[in-house]
Structure 1
Amino acid sequence: MSPTTATAPFSRAVVSAMRKLYPEALADSSWDNTGLLLEAPFDPLRRQMNSVLLTVDLTKAVVDEAIERNDSVIVAYHPIIFRGLKSLTLGNSQQQSLLRLAAEGISVYSPHTAIDAAPGGLGDWLADIVTGTPATAPADGSAPSNPSSSKPSTPEVHPTQPTDDDPFVEPKHPVYMLQHHPSQAGLRDADLKLASTAHTRSTIRPLDLPSHPNAGMGRIVRFRTPQPLSSLIERIGRGLGNPKGFPIAIPQGANISSISISSVGICAGSGASLLSNLDVDLLFTGELPHHEALAAIEKGQCVVTLFHSNSERGFLHSVLRQQLLEAVRDEWEVLRREERGREGVEDEVVEALEDGYVGVEVSERDRDPYGIVVSKYAE
């Protein structure tokens, strides 16, 4: 009699936890591909750890990381499979990753737009950031005092940088350094009181799901009192882990210090289709195409973008990791009790059920493909 092919018991607990936290019914099934994308068979002879690796993108580097860590499941926010596959070969890098993971017994689950649309999910997290205030700032949302502002405005002079056109001094070429968004290792809890500025909040594209009121794609924030754009920029920087920089567009002839914001349209990832034609002062998203940004500032709007996945990755660290850890612990205990009481459970499965450990970590190698090249001598 051949052994029954099934997924690992722990992997089933993780999938069940994800479906309860972010039901697949919340996802935009008209184009998205969410759920269990790779169900790896359980091999008791090479059983994986009871651990989950969270990532935005399932790249070869993240696959290597999961294999090295002996994880059972990768929860990849972006689906690695969007369209139907006619073959699975090693010649395609993404298919190669799937084949490697299946061989190692590692399953892949993708929640994507289910997290975007969920109440308390990614859209609300970004809204919490933009309506937060620095913990060191007054509660009214005004910018905190900056100790460095008392320094003279004279630019710092580097010893190796010429200060004039002396012909006897060899000119130094600028040195540029590539800076990526802070990784999981570099992230700290934001010095930000989330959602502490008085505001109202609504959903841009609501879902008709009585079981999940306020679910839907995108958020609109309307402040009770207009907020300085400079304060919002600071909140976004703190909430996203203090990246080295991010793009911003404002109307020509304006300057950041003179702009006040009463309303914000918010969308993680690519916001063009969701944010167009919104009557708000600021569009806050991961990316916006060139012409949409031009159209926005021509209408008097401002735009803040973070690079696509940088608008999403912090949610894994700040919210999903602990959320999933607690949910999987509960699901694992329930599954263990049920399986132990079932007749005919194979010895190898019983052994797997004896392991009470549960771990959830965020990938150290996941990152947006884009970084920012910063001049070492930039003022």
Structure 2
Amino acid sequence: MIFTSSLLRTTRLIPSILNHTQRRTFTMATMQSPPFTQQVVKAMQTLYPESLADRTWDNVGLLQENFTSSSSPPTSPVVLLTNDLTPSVAREAISQKASVIISYHPFIFRGFKSITLADPHQRIILLLAQHNIAVYSPHTAIDAAPGGMADWLANMLSTLPNLTTTISTVTPISPSSSLPEKFANAGYGRKVQLSKPITLGEAVKLYAKGLGGLKHVMVARPKSSEQFMVRTVAVCPGSGESVLAGVKDADLIVTGEMSHHPALKLVMEGKAVLSVFHSNSERAFLREVLKPQLEEQLKEVDRVKVVVSEEDQDPFQIVDVEDLPGDMRGEMQTV
């Protein structure tokens, strides 16, 4: 009797379990990439093909995918642009109702053996997955593309009055033959020849303004009582040390960061270095170039919105020790 009752109860449960499994399988089977995410990815690949990226070390493309299903609401047509994907930027994306983040720097470089709350990057993954937000990273594809970040830095010199510029690629690459002809001159770093020399001070002020109105930059230069003049400039966003190492005839090297000994060697060779901090050499590109480009590519999407992060910033800040920020002013207590 006990056996029979248990058997009956088990028999009645089987259809319920099967129905639940079938419903779950059906839901999983209908998970698809949202149309808006596909449109954003296509737009980025049109502007900056992933084949231009240096995949020997870089990680570009759709790094975290979101999804839609028959039972889920449509995704919001909002894209958030950022240089780095930090927890504050992730929260900003949620508050902006973004469904896609374009993070210039990849926030995932290597594979994981686990995804836990112990790691800040993995916490971002979990948070974005919870809110169904995708992440795309273009990185070195933007660096290398004609009209991309390196050209943007080089073209700042073209705004100077009464001179012309000649721009060439420092490290050419060979794009896939399937790419449009406009990508034929792709490569990393640019060298700019000016038709007449300018002072180092003019170049520094030009880049400080062009990179978003920077108040402080780092300059390495030979000591001299004479005015340092610049006729040839080599530029590379981010960390341009290795890319620009082979440029022998540049008077000025412009990049985001450079380590001590390479900078010292350049100064001993009679060259100057302008270093603006890594992401400061990149961030303004998002607002000035990428935002309008994406808006044009996505103009057929109803209610589309492209937003540049207000939370994104370089981790380093120059501080005046005589006038410290408020969160650094606490006095050490004496015992």
TM-score (norm 2): 0.83
Pair 1:90–1:225, CA change in 2 (3 A) = same
What's the counterpart of residue 5 of structure 2? none
Partner secondary structure for residue 114 of structure 1 = helix
Q: In structure 2, how many angstroms separate the alpha carbons of the residues matched to 1:229 and 1:131?
A: 16
Q: CA RMSD in A?
A: 1.7
Pair 1:125–1:254, CA change in 2 (3 A) = farther
Percentage identity across paired residues of the two chains: 44
> How far did residue 48 of structure 1 move?
3.8
AA aligned opposite 1:328: L
Question: Does 8-17 or 30-39 show the bigger shift?
Answer: 8-17
Among 265, 269, 290, the alignment partner of 2:234 is 265
> How far did residue 83 of structure 1 move?
1.2
AA aligned opposite 1:286: G
Q: In structure 2, how many angstroms separate the alpha carbons of the residues matched to 1:263 and 1:220?
A: 7
> How far did residue 374 of structure 1 move?
3.1
1:26-53 deviation line (CA, Å, top 9, x unaligned): 1011110000000112265454421000
Among 32, 35, 38, the alignment partner of 1:9 is 35
> How far did residue 234 of structure 1 move?
1.6
Partner secondary structure for residue 242 of structure 2 = helix
What's the counterpart of residue 39 of structure 1? 65
Equivalent residue runs for 1:53-92 within 5 Å: 53-92=80-119
AA aligned opposite 1:232: A
Q: In structure 2, how many angstroms separate the alpha carbons of the residues matched to 1:373 and 1:68?
A: 31
1:276-324 deviation line (CA, Å, top 9, x unaligned): 1311111100000011110000000000011000000000011000101
AA aligned opposite 2:308: V
The answer as to whether partners of 1:48 and 1:70 remain within 8 angstroms in 2 is: no
Among 191, 199, 221, the alignment partner of 2:192 is 221
What's the counterpart of residue 359 of structure 1? 305
> How far did residue 376 of structure 1 move?
6.4
Q: In structure 1, how many angstroms separate the alpha carbons of the residues matched to 2:112 and 2:240?
A: 28
Equivalent residue runs for 1:93-132 within 5 Å: 93-132=120-159
AA aligned opposite 1:325: E
AA aligned opposite 1:357: R
> How far did residue 254 of structure 1 move?
5.0
Q: In structure 1, how many angstroms separate the alpha carbons of the residues matched to 2:319 and 2:225?
A: 26
Q: In structure 1, how many angstroms separate the alpha carbons of the residues matched to 2:114 and 2:40?
A: 28
- Residue correspondences, number: 291
Structure possessing the higher relative contact order (Cα contacts under 8 Å, 6 or more residues apart): 1
The answer as to whether partners of 1:123 and 1:217 remain within 8 angstroms in 2 is: yes
Q: In structure 2, how many angstroms separate the alpha carbons of the residues matched to 1:226 and 1:244?
A: 24
> How far did residue 130 of structure 1 move?
2.9
Question: Does 3-12 or 108-117 show the bigger shift?
Answer: 3-12
Among 164, 175, 183, the alignment partner of 1:198 is 164
Partner secondary structure for residue 285 of structure 1 = strand
> How far did residue 131 of structure 1 move?
3.2
The answer as to whether partners of 2:68 and 2:75 remain within 8 angstroms in 1 is: no
> 5+ residue gaps in structure 2?
1-21, 325-335
The answer as to whether partners of 1:271 and 1:285 remain within 8 angstroms in 2 is: yes
The answer as to whether partners of 1:244 and 1:372 remain within 8 angstroms in 2 is: no
TM-score (norm 1): 0.74
Equivalent residue runs for 1:15-26 within 5 Å: 15-26=41-52
What's the counterpart of residue 318 of structure 2? 372
Pair 1:254–1:63, CA change in 2 (3 A) = farther
AA aligned opposite 2:49: P
What's the counterpart of residue 347 of structure 1? none
